[in-house]
Structure 1
Amino acid sequence: MWEQQGNLTDRKTRFGATPARSYGMLLKEIMNPIPGSPAYATDEQRLKRYSAQGSLGDTIHGQCDWQAQDKALRARRQEARYRNIQDAMQRMHQTHVIDRCAREDAAYEAKLMSKLVQKERYTTSIAIENRRFLGFQ
């Protein structure tokens, strides 16, 4: 029987990388990583029981300590994201206010110039009319 399976392990496929005899060892390594790896947990950590009511000192409302840490990290990241968005919106609003004030100032100056030019034209035309009137007398 092992001779037949030996042919499977000689193949250059993904199943040929692990001999059939060591699948149990591979499964054990996947479920319980080696010490020093990021996923490694000691037997005490893996077998620790947590209370659903949070009666243990290291649980918060029935959450494991790593769940509470993840929740706190997620909250900090979300708060930082909202703060960045708020700062960007505030900068954009300030830019729009500055642009709007500049446009309003330019429009006000244009209106003033228009009124001054209109007043100058009116005064000039009145002076010409008065001069004509004075010239005929």
Structure 2
Amino acid sequence: MLDWTMSTPLSGSEERTWAMVAHIGVLIAAWLAMGFLCPLIIWLVFRDRSDFVRRHAVESLNFQISLLIYSALAAVLIFITFGLGVLIVVPLVVIGAIAALVVIILATVAASGGNDYSYPLTIRFIR
């Protein structure tokens, strides 16, 4: 019989799967500007069961929080410049969105291979 208690360590395959979900799962929640929810839930559920999953979930969570902050700063820039900031912000947002997608895919590939990954330009809120 399988033991699904919170203290049961994860197998290597389960670790890689949940680490990958911590990264790629943000694409689903990102449509509602809540990309941080997926890694947050994975971190809360698996942080004591697997150090590997914890590291990936924390890395993804920090990246998503950083993206949220950068987006808020872009909105403030547009507001303070009475809309003129759009000329700067929109191209940066497009480039940033493409770059974010690329690094999320790279992190997912690293997790599937059992390797660690560090997102660029990430503020480390959670360790």
So what's the TM-score if we normalise by structure 1?
0.28
> Which has more radius of gyration?
1
Q: Relative contact order: is structure 1 or structure 2 higher (C-alpha 8 Å, sep ≥ 6)?
A: 2
